[in-house]
Amino acid sequence: MVKIGRNEQCPCGSGKKYKKCCLPQQQDRQNAILQPRPITVVSEIASLQAAAMNRQEIFKSIGVFIFFSTREGDAWLLELSDMDAVQVAKAGERIEVEINESPETIEVNWPYQFMIKDKVFITTAYLDKAVKDYPGYPTAAISAAIRKLQGRFSSDLLDQIHVDEQAAA
pLDDT tens, 68-87? Answer: 999 999 999 999 888 999 99
8 A C-beta contact, residue 26 and residue 11: no
Residues 82-105 have pLDDT tens digits of: 899 999 999 999 999 989 988 888
Look up the pTM and report it.
0.71
Rounded to whole angstroms, the Cα distance separating 35 from 66 reads 24
Rounded to whole angstroms, the Cα distance separating 154 from 100 reads 26
Q: What is the mean pLDDT of the chain?
A: 84
Rounded to whole angstroms, the Cα distance separating 35 from 130 reads 45
